[in-house]
Structure 1
Amino acid sequence: MTESYSFMIPQSLYHLWCPSYIEQQNLTSVSEFFLTGLSDDPELQPLLFGLFLSMYLVTVLGNLLIILAVSCDSHLHTPMYFFLSNLSLADIGFTSTTIPKMILGIQTQNRAISYVGCLTQMSFFMLFGCLDSLLLAVMAYDRFVAICHPLHYMVIMNPRFCGLLVLASFFISLLVSQMHNSIVLQLTYFKDVEISHFFCDPSQLLNLACSDTSTNNIVMYFVGAISGFLPISGIFFSYYKIVSSILRVPSAGGKYKAFSTCGSHLSVVCLFYGTGLGVYLSSAVSRSPRKGAVASVVYTVVTPMLNPFIYSLRNRDIKRAMRRLFSNTI
């Protein structure tokens, strides 16, 4: 049951607190929310449970295999694969913040999530989502140095600098997630406790707030735009320089060899940002929270699940490392 605390305020002052509920005379501070999930149809629940459980297991196992292959094979102890293993770790965290709670809710038929749990889930979701974006930008910079400055690659991309890039990405992501949390923490009273999503989405919480959230929305979208614009700008700049450098290579074989080192990363970038942009545009057009939740599955579940396949299928070094890993374990 939802635990709530209410108090009476004068009718003459109520419009200052909750303009859309002027007729009511009480405000409610909630201790938990209810996630509606993707569907209310009881017949679909077993299908959703099996589908998301299998997708989650494939995501975790696939990314763990990438991390193990990079860790166990000395040939992969290079900056590119160091960043790849950190990306796989971020993908595991990104998926684990939302899907286990959703699977548990389907199995137990309990969609409740505490207020503290909601804020915690939102914080980790923003942390790993932003970390994914920043690591993709760092990997683009790594490819830029490898192709445009090959003679100085090992000097520039030394282990200390690579570690600093990952740490900086983590702390920036942590800052962004805490800024989103601080925006939501300013909200005290809510019109409803039902979130039309399968996880605690910050925009959904703002929509449920009783007070005027125009300033909160502006700040949240500004932080989101900056945290998204900077990595995308870095990726575009890196690939602009990479393409310019490749076009100056005289032989077709040399061009193909240079570009093939970027193929997997470019595929992941297009998948991550393409699906994210598609979700944003579809939700803006339809204005249906349920449709937005369904579209969010693509970048929260499908993209992290496909990343290990993209890197393993298009990368001979990863394939060899996987074969060595399996041959040593059998």
Structure 2
Amino acid sequence: MNETTYFQLSTLLMCKTWTLPNHPLFQFASGFLLLSYLSPPGIYGLLYLRCCLTIASIFYTLWGWLILCSIDTCVWNLIFTFVNAVYVIFIVFKINPFIRFPHDVELVYRDLFKPLKVSRNSFLKIYKCTREVQTLKAEDVYCYEGETLVDKLSLLLSGRLAVLKNGKTVHLIDAHQFVDSPEWFGVGSNETYQVTVMALEECRLIIWHRDKLKLTIADEPYLQAVMDNILGKDVVKKLLFVTGTVGNAATSNCSTNVNENSKLIVPYHKAMDQVIKRNINPEPNGVHCFWSLSRINEDIETNV
């Protein structure tokens, strides 16, 4: 009895003869299957894995169709090919969603938002809140001090703007800087601008409906943090690049005295000291900050 059992097992476990190696299609398929096991971690590793499995399944399908002439081998591997190909397409679109913006908006995305890891899909949500892209000729006025309501958020795409307070030039706004970043923080839509903004040359601005934008990112904490980060930095830059003519009665008006040298960089340690201490109240000599930032409360949202 034991000899019979041993003979049966030896028959099952040992091959008397070996067939020739399979067709090269089978070898290629197995090679790509092996490569799929070597995929690295991460989204690109997953893409590599699915590409290898797709190619392997194609070779297995061809092997079953041309060499084995086996319908079930072909059908199963066609299914595997389809499933993996769908995953490849999905991952490719996730890595690069092929969302394109107008050239100047694309530059804004690359300069301001992409460094903060904002995806194109997320930036598209912001871009869809655009009210218009406005063009200003030289000396056209964007907003009037004490008259124009703060119901928008604008970014300068090209050109240069001058900010005036009581008819005097305060500072300049260059391309890829926000026009009304200080008003983003806690200023209601029923309030008016505290400065006048005028174009020094032909300018193009992208204008968002501010309340619509705030509602859009209300459920996106990361986008909220990104917008606060970008706009907060813009406010700090405005404080750092305040002209030395604020409060000086001898300051000339915009059309005669605005040039490349009209910006004065405040010494960094003094400027940051002012920002940290919120030292924005009028000084004894009458020099004051032209934005009433003391009204800004972090927890206040714009009323809709």
Which category of TM-score, normalised to the shorter sequence, fits these structures? Answer: under 0.3
Using CA pairs under 8 Å that are at least 6 residues apart, name the structure with larger relative contact order, 1 or 2.
1
Name the one with the larger strand percent. 2
Name the one with the larger helix percent. 1
